[in-house]
Amino acid sequence: MNEGTEQGLIHISDDVVTSIVGQVVLETPGIAGMSGSNISDNWAKRLGGKNVKKGLSVEVKEVDVAIDLRVIVNYGCVIQEVCYMLQKNVRNAVENMMGLSLVSVNVKVEKVALPV
């Protein structure tokens, strides 16, 4: 995203959007992690979220964003509620932190993390 101001140009990289969204996903209660990654949310936090790009697709245009998420939900959680909260948290982060308009947050639950 590029935005011109009186003082110059502001550019927000796709990687920045991905990092912020990845962190929000891992902080959402009921989410065990991103699908396509063998890493749990605790390990992802310790590693700085390096593997959160797996299971996360971000399409940034001039002033709007579309996001696709593939997640793993913890066993025992109400999947619809977890996904709704995830969509809400991602929307708030993108719109409030970056001033972008969020077109869609598509969530696909690919696995359920069973307790060990």
What's the pLDDT tens digit per position in 33-73?
998 754 444 444 444 444 456 788 888 777 788 999 999 99
3-state secondary structure 87-115: HHHHHHHHHHHHCCEEEEEEEEEEEEECC
Is the per-residue pLDDT at 5 higher than 50? yes
What confidence category does residue 114 fall into, taking pLDDT thresholds of 50, 70 and 90? very high
Q: 45: which 2 tokens?
A: 């936090």
Asked whether residue 2 carries a pLDDT value surpassing 80, the answer given is: no
CATH numbers and ranges of domains, the chain = 14-35+53-113 (3.30.70.1350)
Structure tokens belonging to residue 47: 């590693």
Query: What pLDDT score does 49 carry?
Result: 46
